Structure formats: C-alpha cells, structure tokens
Amino acid sequence: MTTPDPRIRRDGPRPDVIVQRLFPHPLDRVWRAVTEAEHLATWFPGAPEFDLRVGGRVHFHEFADDPAEFGEVLDIDPPHLLRFTWDTDVVTLELTAQGDGTLLVLTNALEDGPAAASVATGWEACLEILADLVAGRTPTEPDPRYARHEELARAFDLGRPEVAESAEGWSGRFERQLVCEPQVAWELFLGGAAEPEVTHPVPAVGEELRAPRAPDVVLGSVTEVEAPRLLAFDTAPGEPGDHVRFELVEGTGHGARMVLTVRGADPAERDAALEQWGLGAVDAIAAAALVAMS
C-alpha cells in the first residue's frame, strides 16, 4: 500500500495540514504510543505529558519557559480520538482499526499558514520515528529534508500572494518559508537568485537599485535598507508597481521567512507587478535556497 502524501485543507478558519499513516499493529498499542509520556518523549516534539481528560493540561517539558510549554486537552475518546492545543495550533489524532492494523490521521490546524510545508515535513519525520517505536525498532534521527520541504511547498501552492484592493490602489503580499539562513537569502535576493556565497554590494537609501544580471537596468530608488533583513525601493519609470519591500523575518526551524510586498496605484500594472516582483522572485529564491543547502 502506497503511503499518501500530506495534504492541506483550506475550507475552515485555519488551514489544516493532514498526515496519515497505517500501522500494522493493533489499536491499543498505537494508542499507548501516542498518549503515554514514555513513548511520546521518543517521537513527539517537546516530549508532552497529557492529563487525559477534557480540560486536562498538556505539558511540553522540552519547551520550558516558552509560550508553547503548556496546552490543553480539548476532546478525548480513548482509544480513538485526542485533540489538544499546542502553542497557537490545534492537533487532532484520530485512530481507527483497519483489520489487524491501525490508521492514524493527524490533523494540525495552523495559526501560521506559510509554515505548512515545514509542519508537514516535520510530521512525516515524527511519524517515521513512531513507526519504528511501535514496531520495536530503534528509531533513526531524520535528515533535514530540505528537498521534501520544497516539494510540499509547491504541492500546497504556498507561493500564492494575498492581494488586496483599496481606493488608493492594490497590494500583493508574498510570504514564503525558505530552507536557508537569512544571510543566504539576502545574497540570493541581491544577486538575482545566484551566487549565495558572494557578498553583493548593498545600495544606500536614495541610491539606485540595479538589476543584478543587467546592471544597466535601474529597478528603482532605495527607500529603506537594514542589511541583511530589509530592502525597500520605489520602482523606476517603466517598471510595474510603485513600491517593493523585501523582508527576512523569523520563520520555522527550516530557515528564514521571506516576506515580499508590492503595491501600486494603477490597476493595469497589478498582474505584471505580481509576476515580476513576486511570483518570479519568490520562486527563484526558494529554488536557489534549496540548491545552496544541498
């Protein structure tokens, strides 16, 4: 039987990442592995300990003094259902007997939608460890899985922009988790998604920003710069849109989070601006970041 890929569901107030696995072991055995602290310490992040009742506390011991240290049991129906909060997320474990085996469906309702690929990649690794645990095998430490992260980011269509319209004009916001550190992403942006190991010159406020691979082409005039985290510029005449802002902010454990915003007043320029400044740049940087980390 082929193991299904994680999927994302967007029909509720939050996006849900759903990962499922079929274990060739009885229901009670899997239930113990997903609820008892001695087993959870092996495969579940934070080594949680559950007070298995509605309203019971979940203590994530490895996140001491962190906002994610404590959660709450929202629903429980042994040995079939456990739903609880984890930091800002809600995690649901559903177990169903299938012949001599057990189907586990893990649903993670996300507060942070752009983290979906990171979350799905992480749960895949955790459930591999769980499979070893319930089978009595010694679990192996998972690899970083950068390529899998990018594969799922494409499958989940995480490069889509949030587009807004107002009386003043339009804006498009792209938020994309990367698999590289901020300094690498910064050099990829300045270098046109090339040569992350090269330190590129950073224009000062008021200076021209030129196309990395066509230095005769002026893209705009810099309005803000805080290397290696922020570069904003007003676009040059003939370039679509009016203003572009590139930021690198804290993301998941995979790497930096890229936030690119473009805005303008002319609706006729919107699609071209989203394509040039957003879709093209975001996809190119994400792909180059994967190569840099390979």
Domain 160-293, classified CATH 3.30.450.60, yes or no: no
Q: What is the mean pLDDT of residues 194-216?
A: 92
Residue 32 confidence (pLDDT): 98
Domains 7-154 and 160-293 share a fold: yes
Q: Is 191 left (phi over 0), alpha (psi -120 to 50) or beta?
A: alpha
Q: Domains of the chain: which residue ranges?
A: 7-154, 160-293
Q: What is the mean pLDDT of residues 150-179?
A: 95
Asked whether 91 and 98 are in contact (CB, 8 A), the reply is no
| Domain 7-154: assigned CATH number | 3.30.530.20
Residue 1 confidence (pLDDT): 56
What's the CA gap between 31 and 218, in Å, rounded? 61
Q: What is the pLDDT of residues 245-282, one digit of tens each?
A: 999 999 887 799 999 999 999 999 999 999 999 888 89
The model's pTM: 0.93
For the four alpha carbons of 5, 8, 9 and 12, in that order, the dihedral sign comes to positive
Q: What is the pLDDT of residues 22-75, one digit of tens each?
A: 999 999 999 999 999 999 999 999 999 999 999 999 999 999 999 999 999 999
